[in-house]
Amino acid sequence: MPITSSQIMTILGTRLEVQTIQPEVPQPGPTLVFLHEGLGSVALWRDWPAQLCARLACAGLVYSRQGYGQSDATPDVRGPSRTQNGQRHGRLLPDYMHREALQVLPALLRQLGIERPVLVGHSDGGTIALIHASQHPVAGCIVMAPHVMVEDISVQAITAARQAYENGPLRQRLAPFHADVDCAFWQWNDVWLSQAFRAFDIRPELHSITAPLLAIQGEDDAYGTMAQIDDIARAVPHTQLLKLPACGHSPHKDQPEVVAGAVQNFIKDLQVISSGPASSSNEKTQVFSRAKSSSLNQRH
């Protein structure tokens, strides 16, 4: 198994929980950067990032966003949104994923000296990956159950999650994974159920993505329909789609072997592209699109 190490890093004035993964026998290639879901953290990924990095002989980076895991909590998380002494306080605003993708993540990568990573994002983390890839150079982008717009099914599922948190077992189940579980839950739940967030829509931004892209969705996902990744493919024609039966909102948990195999093939193709004669990102995208136009755009 790879060697993992954990630390707390201060990024833009906020202390973030960071885990790095180094394979026993590293191979040349990009670092995988794992971006967690709306209630996730380093710990909630469990050992999947380490297992995937071991399988691919890739380095990895996992971190908990502010308010999650062992990272700093968001002060007054249910209070009015504001900035005090340069730090964010109160409820998240509808642009919170843009802030993470375009401010926090670039600062973290810069401090660690990571260039052109492969982003691996789940749910909110998938959305953050797409936004980042639309404006920053990445070697590739892998998204599982991302949200490119708000669907009624998403609001219904998140409303049910609020009921489970207040009156059911959800708070107890999440508590071991977050230093401040109430902060973790409410910062996500409140913004998603706000009226202002219903207008959230990143589809116009996706056209700027030139990096190779793999989008994965489960057919039984309670938080989103296939429209999410179908709309990604319409905006980014070279996207590989992987639609999984018997799979809910967490493809890496519900179909771990299929997902790991798809990621492995995706990374192999990146390595072929990087060693080829194509020099510009547009050329590489065109090569990737021609090579993979039909390999994964099908049911498994």
Extended strands (E) in the chain: 3-11, 14-22, 32-35, 60-63, 82-84, 87-89, 118-122, 140-144, 213-218, 240-244, 298-299
Residues 6+ apart with CB under 8 A from 59: 20, 21, 22, 23, 26, 31, 32, 53
pTM for the model: 0.91
Gap between the Cα atoms of 251 and 222, Å rounded: 12
Q: At what angle do helices 281-292 and 256-274 cross, to 10 degrees?
A: 130
Query: Smallest Cα–Cα separation from 43: which of 223, 198, 181?
Result: 181
- Taking the CA atoms of 226, 230, 232 and 233 in sequence, report the sign of the dihedral they define: positive
Q: Which of 61, 53, 46 is nearest to 129 (CA)?
A: 61
pLDDT in tens, the chain (300 residues): 789 999 999 999 999 999 999 988 877 889 999 999 999 999 999 999 999 999 999 999 999 999 999 999 999 999 999 998 888 999 999 999 999 999 999 999 999 999 999 999 999 999 999 999 999 999 999 999 999 999 999 999 999 999 999 999 999 999 999 999 999 999 999 999 999 999 999 999 999 999 999 999 999 999 999 999 999 999 999 999 999 999 999 999 999 999 999 999 999 999 776 655 443 444 333 333 333 433 344 443
Cα gap 29→23, rounded to integer Å: 12
> CA 5, 62, 104: angle at the middle one, nearest 5?
120
- How many other β-carbons are positioned within 10 Å of the β-carbon of residue 138? 24
Can you tell me the distance from the alpha carbon of 238 to that of 293, in angstroms, rounded to the nearest whole number? 7
| H-only helix segments in 29-95 | 48-56
Q: Number of folded domains in the chain? A: 1
* CATH code of the domain containing 43: 3.40.50.1820
Q: How far apart are the first and last CA of the chain?
A: 29
Q: Which domain holds residue 10?
A: 3-299
- Report whether 136 contacts 142 (CB < 8 A): no
Kindly report the number of other CB atoms within 10 A of residue 219's CB atom: 13
CB atoms within 10 A of CB 24: 9
What are the start-end ranges of the H helices in 138-226?
A: 152-167, 170-174, 181-192, 203-206
